[in-house]
Structure 1
Amino acid sequence: MLVARAGPARSLRCSLYTTTTTRGLRTVPTLPDASLETFRREALSPETPALLPRGTFNHFPAVSKWFTPPSASHPLTLNQAYLTRYGPTLVPLEITHDGQFARLEHSLSFFLECVLANASTFRTWPSRRYFSAFVPGARGIRRTTVSNHFFSASAVTAPTARVYLAQAALADLPQGLRADVPTPGLVLEAGKGDVYASSIWLGVAPTYTPLHRDPNPNLFVQLAGRKRVRLFSPGAGRNVFAKVQDDIGGGGSANLRGVEMMEGRERAALEEEVWGRDDLYRNSAFEAELGGGDGLFIPKGWWHSFKGTGEGMTGSVNWWFR
């Protein structure tokens, strides 16, 4: 556990580790250390977003076990040799295709095939009809190692759909995988000690999670790859959501979010409002970029949206706790 620095040294440390945004948005403050006392005092109690010092969670076994480091010729990818041990495990997959969205369960081995296949030639396999039932017009192809395209409604050379292992409950995974992402002491000790839920997120960049809020505090850890996040306070986020609903003539509830935020007009409008209106939200939006081993605390009720950036895999885990 890191030891806090006092006085001028603390200010220097915060400056060194604070993520710099390129669009003039407010930066999420970085805690001077990862101690329980500091976390409670400067993040949990005041209910303000905060980054943990860079690399706080580099010790997680998943960081080295689940991913293969990038090279000059290949981006970061999954360690297939290790993860195929758990191939039969059912995981939730999100498929987006030409403005359509479907969520289904399939084996981890299938997801690995989506991510790691080396050819992009059309495959006439039985799963073709299976996927068309979920995403009309989608055709299975083998993807390249530098994109997350897996389905096409027309030419095989121009696939349009993406596959994302999203919000896979950690409790539903085999013990070996759960052991690779141990629950942080901050989650177990800072609050009441109980975890409401925890999830795994794996996909090839770019990935996207629309603006939403959670009913519990959230500790988010980036395992590999990079993600950008934008956050709004409860009031500011509610205003953004209400504006989008007015713009599209929608009647969505801010308290109960479902598949509607993942497809169609609402998805596009939310993304444009949150990520395309930098000048409008310069004083109300926070932004941070997380790399492997980095952690972010998101207070209860704070609205947030994530984007996986760069090339290759991006992997994350989070815990909602009381």
Structure 2
Amino acid sequence: MLGRRPLVVILQQCRQYSSAPGFKPVPTLPNASLDMFRQHAFNQAMPALLPRQIFQGLPAVQKWFAEDSNPHAGATLNRSYLARYGSTIVPLEISHNDQFNRIEQPLSFFLECVYASSSTYRPRPSRYFSAYVPNARAIKQTKRSNEFFSAATITPPTARIYLAQAPVANLPHSLRADVPTPDIVLKAGQGDIYDSSIWLGQAPTYTPLHRDPNPNLFVQLAGTKIVRLFSPEVGRAIFAKVQEQIGGAASATMRGEEMMHGAERKALEDAVWNEQAAKLNTGFEAELETGDGMFIPKGWWHSIKGMGSGMTGSVSI
């Protein structure tokens, strides 16, 4: 409880970041003390940003990524470091137009796809994607790109790869140590620690509207992501409207691959990110950069976009 000091006073003291008309900025806590976090985020079940770049010192930020020599190119993966763990099996999402596949492959597979270095287009399908994405041929535009192009044109990407929801618990010990659980998560109380997961991919990236079964701390390891959040009631209403619109009957609690492609993916994106549609909803927005962390309460719906160029990386704890 906040006693006699209303929450609004605390929120007015916080720095706020938002750029979208109709969305409220997620408030930023003035400090990252356990008491501040408990009283004004965790116990209130309200989204909150921690002080900016508070996680800049995480080992993963320093070890997994490197800045490109081109200041406009964004971050790149530290391939020499991550290649030490190339045999680690990780979940990958491959999207190609309206096709979507979720597979498991060694981390080395992901690194090869990201760093495909041939400068000429190949006359036959790429060996990486031929089994998963028909006609996704001819790899490589730049050494940082994980976009795969048709042999007939170099304009639109035909397939993208995203290391998504890789459980931290399944990583080798050294990689797990690179993303330690912060004290505010360990000591906040109320329930077990939610399984931590990693996301790595070339911007732009996109995660459709969904909700998590537990509260989590979302930390940006590299690049920039914009997060839009909705309270449980508003999120359910958006989801129900989308299902009615597409004639669907998906469960709000059991989300599967249906939200990653086809009519549902497009309808969810329009409902959250289309400017006109978004004005009809009451939500929050935050832009996270390297080292930033945000608390997402249990049951709050959210959709996330990786922006800019270069690699993006995130961990939910």
Name the CA distance, whole Å, in 2 between partners of 1:114 and 1:305: 26
- Asked whether 1:311 is paired with 2:309, we answer yes
User: Which residue of structure 2 aligns with residue 109 of structure 1?
Assistant: 108
Per the TM alignment, residue 143 of structure 1 is displaced from its structure 2 partner at its CA by 4.2
Aligned pairs for 1:171-182 within 5 A: 171-182=169-180
Aligned pairs for 1:45-194 within 5 A: 45-72=43-70, 74-123=73-122, 128=127, 131-139=129-137, 141-145=139-143, 147-150=145-148, 152=150, 155=153, 158-192=156-190, 194=192
Deviation larger for 152-161 or 130-139: 152-161
For normalisation by structure 2, the TM-score amounts to 0.90
Indicate if the aligned counterparts of 1:222 and 1:294 stay in contact, CA closer than 8 A: yes
Q: Percent identity?
A: 61
Name the CA distance, whole Å, in 2 between partners of 1:30 and 1:84: 36
SS of residue matched to 1:136: coil
- Asked whether 1:209 is paired with 2:207, we answer yes
Per the TM alignment, residue 22 of structure 1 is displaced from its structure 2 partner at its CA by 3.9
Could you list the runs of 5+ residues in structure 1 that have no partner in the other structure? 1-6
User: Which residue of structure 1 aligns with residue 37 of structure 2?
Assistant: 39
- Asked whether 1:233 is paired with 2:196, we answer no
Indicate if the aligned counterparts of 2:125 and 2:137 stay in contact, CA closer than 8 A: no
Name the CA distance, whole Å, in 2 between partners of 1:120 and 1:246: 47
Describe the shift of the 1:146–1:174 C-alpha distance in structure 2 as closer, same or farther (beyond 3 A). closer
Equivalent of residue 297 in structure 1, options 292, 295, 298: 295
Could you list the runs of 5+ residues in structure 2 that have no partner in the other structure? none
Describe the shift of the 1:140–1:198 C-alpha distance in structure 2 as closer, same or farther (beyond 3 A). farther
Per the TM alignment, residue 110 of structure 1 is displaced from its structure 2 partner at its CA by 1.7
- Asked whether 1:262 is paired with 2:248, we answer no
Deviation larger for 269-278 or 69-78: 69-78
Describe the shift of the 1:279–1:158 C-alpha distance in structure 2 as closer, same or farther (beyond 3 A). closer
Aligned length: 310
Indicate if the aligned counterparts of 2:133 and 2:159 stay in contact, CA closer than 8 A: no
Structure 2 counterpart of 1:36, one-letter code = L
Name the CA distance, whole Å, in 2 between partners of 1:298 and 1:204: 23
CA RMSD of aligned residues (A): 2.4
Per the TM alignment, residue 212 of structure 1 is displaced from its structure 2 partner at its CA by 0.1
For normalisation by structure 1, the TM-score amounts to 0.88
Per the TM alignment, residue 123 of structure 1 is displaced from its structure 2 partner at its CA by 4.1
Per the TM alignment, residue 281 of structure 1 is displaced from its structure 2 partner at its CA by 3.4
Indicate if the aligned counterparts of 2:121 and 2:151 stay in contact, CA closer than 8 A: no
Describe the shift of the 1:151–1:178 C-alpha distance in structure 2 as closer, same or farther (beyond 3 A). farther
Cα distance per residue 1:70-117 (max 9 Å; x no partner): 333643111111111111111111000011100001111121122223
Per the TM alignment, residue 190 of structure 1 is displaced from its structure 2 partner at its CA by 0.2
User: Which residue of structure 2 aligns with residue 4 of structure 1?
Assistant: none
Per the TM alignment, residue 239 of structure 1 is displaced from its structure 2 partner at its CA by 0.6
Describe the shift of the 1:185–1:123 C-alpha distance in structure 2 as closer, same or farther (beyond 3 A). farther
Name the CA distance, whole Å, in 2 between partners of 1:186 and 1:278: 38
Indicate if the aligned counterparts of 2:126 and 2:139 stay in contact, CA closer than 8 A: no
Name the CA distance, whole Å, in 1 between partners of 2:178 and 2:276: 37
Indicate if the aligned counterparts of 1:75 and 1:146 stay in contact, CA closer than 8 A: no
Structure 1 counterpart of 2:87, one-letter code = P
Describe the shift of the 1:158–1:26 C-alpha distance in structure 2 as closer, same or farther (beyond 3 A). closer
SS of residue matched to 1:134: coil
